Amino acid sequence: MKYFRVLIILGLLIIIPLLLFTNLKTATPESVDQHKILTANQHGVLTVDLPKIRTGADQINEYLPYLKDKKVGLLVNTSSIIENTSLVDSLLSHNVNIKYIFGPEHGFRSNAGNGVSIKDEVDPTTGIPIISLYGGTRKPTKKQMDELDLIVFDIQDVGCRFFTYINKLYDIMEACAENNKELIILDRPNPNGYVDGPVLDMKLKSGIGKFPIPITHGMTMGEFAQMINGEGWLPNKAKCKIRVISLKNYTHSTYYELPVSPSPNLNTQPSIMLYPSLCLFEGTIISQGRGTYMPFTVLGNPKLKDQYTFSFTPKSIPGMSTSPLHMDKTCYGIDLRDYDIKQLLETKKINLKWLIEFYKNYPDKEKFFDKSQSSQMGDFDKLAGTVNLKKQIINGVSEEEIRASWEPELSKYKVMREKYVIYE
């Protein structure tokens, strides 16, 4: 019996580490707060808890010493939290001297709709000036930078080329490099941590595509900042002095449920996970649910009544979408609110089947990609990052052939990315 117990103990010592390692690679939605693994016990299973993900902001003792006696600027919004407390409030409670708060698209309070220009203001509670970097000014002025010793960047991204927070990271890095100021990046998980899609043709460079990267770039903000520096993307190949406060207990395959919506129209976890696939529809005549409280989880158009039974009606919603596509018209299409979003993490691919399906079913195909039909439609080629995808959809090219056309650029990007990743 004694030898039998020894064998059991030795077996568990071998099995538990192996399962721990495996779980880090295959975390599921159950692991939002902590990873769980199963090992054998007398009842068949034993739950072992591992530490929960800790964001850069959570690790305040790692960066607070750098802020002491400094004049600090913050580039933040409502996603910038420590547990349930605003980063601004937390730093003020530690007597950090915050001179300016800079706000990205949607504003410091994340309550402005997409594309809405935001004005500067003064926070009524703290008296701190709030400077909008989404309107007349894209980066802090020299006068503002002269009043600062460093800037802290803490914004939740969703890992997509056309989500504009990576552009704002670039802008603040440019300002810091020009003025010889350090940028501290409080890293946060990328909920869409996989790499997929066509790499941007830089002839199509725009505000929704600024870098030669695929639709889902598979990087956190800390990693992306290292890529901006390393690839010489700043003007004159300047380098920004950055300090990344890295995540704990995180890998790119770890499922992460955002505690705060990163923007008004990404207001649920399914919308965040579906965004890389559904945002392409912004360059079509198909509504993605803007003007509803379920954006980026539904697709539809008034002319599809004969093909689909599910329906929704876009309305003007202040703070989300004031004049959405097909406003006050009943749209017919599909409801993806219950879609198994784990599939996207498991396959590590954006979904092209919906785009192919809706083009096939839309009766007036000449107007499917015609942005002149509505001022609300975006430029499909700029969203896709290539002129080829539209042509391929029109010509009935298969999904497999479309994906094959993204090579070799996609594989080259993956090799480049490896130089800058911090996490597995």
User: Residue 160 has what DSSP assignment?
Assistant: B
Higher pLDDT, 48 or 157: 157
Please determine, looking at this structure, whether the domain spanning 60-245 carries the CATH number 3.40.50.12170: yes
Structure confidence at residue 95 (pLDDT) = 97
Q: Tell me the pLDDT tens digit for each residue of 259-313.
A: 999 999 999 999 999 999 999 999 999 999 999 999 999 999 999 999 999 999 9
Asked if the model's pLDDT at residue 35 lies above 90, the reply is no
Q: pLDDT tier at 107 (50, 70, 90 boundaries)?
A: low
- Report yes or no: 128 and 98 within 8 Å, Cβ to Cβ: yes
Query: CA–CA separation, 120 vs 353, rounded Å?
Result: 43
Q: Tell me the pLDDT tens digit for each residue of 403-421.
A: 999 999 999 999 999 999 9
What are the beta bridge partners of residue 73?
100, 151
Higher pLDDT, 37 or 113: 113
Query: CA–CA separation, 365 vs 394, rounded Å?
Result: 8
Structure tokens at 229: 């520096």
Q: pLDDT tier at 343 (50, 70, 90 boundaries)?
A: confident
User: CATH 3.40.50.12170: which residues of the chain?
Assistant: 60-245
pTM of the model: 0.85
Query: CA–CA separation, 111 vs 122, rounded Å?
Result: 16
Asked if the model's pLDDT at residue 109 lies above 90, the reply is no
User: Residue 4 has what DSSP assignment?
Assistant: H
3-state secondary structure of 298: strand
Query: CA–CA separation, 346 vs 391, rounded Å?
Result: 28
CA atoms within 13 A on the CB side of 327: 12
Structure tokens at 197: 């899609």
| Mean residue pLDDT across the chain | 87
Asked if the model's pLDDT at residue 50 lies above 60, the reply is no
Structure confidence at residue 417 (pLDDT) = 98
Asked if the model's pLDDT at residue 9 lies above 50, the reply is no
- Report yes or no: 222 and 155 within 8 Å, Cβ to Cβ: no
- Report yes or no: 256 and 29 within 8 Å, Cβ to Cβ: no
Structure confidence at residue 106 (pLDDT) = 53
Q: Which helix (H) or strand (E) element contains residue 243?
A: strand 242-245
User: How confident is the model over 232-245, as a mean pLDDT?
Assistant: 98
Asked if the model's pLDDT at residue 254 lies above 70, the reply is yes
Share of the chain above pLDDT 90, in %: 75
What is the distance between the terminal CA atoms of the chain, rounded to a whole angstrom? 42
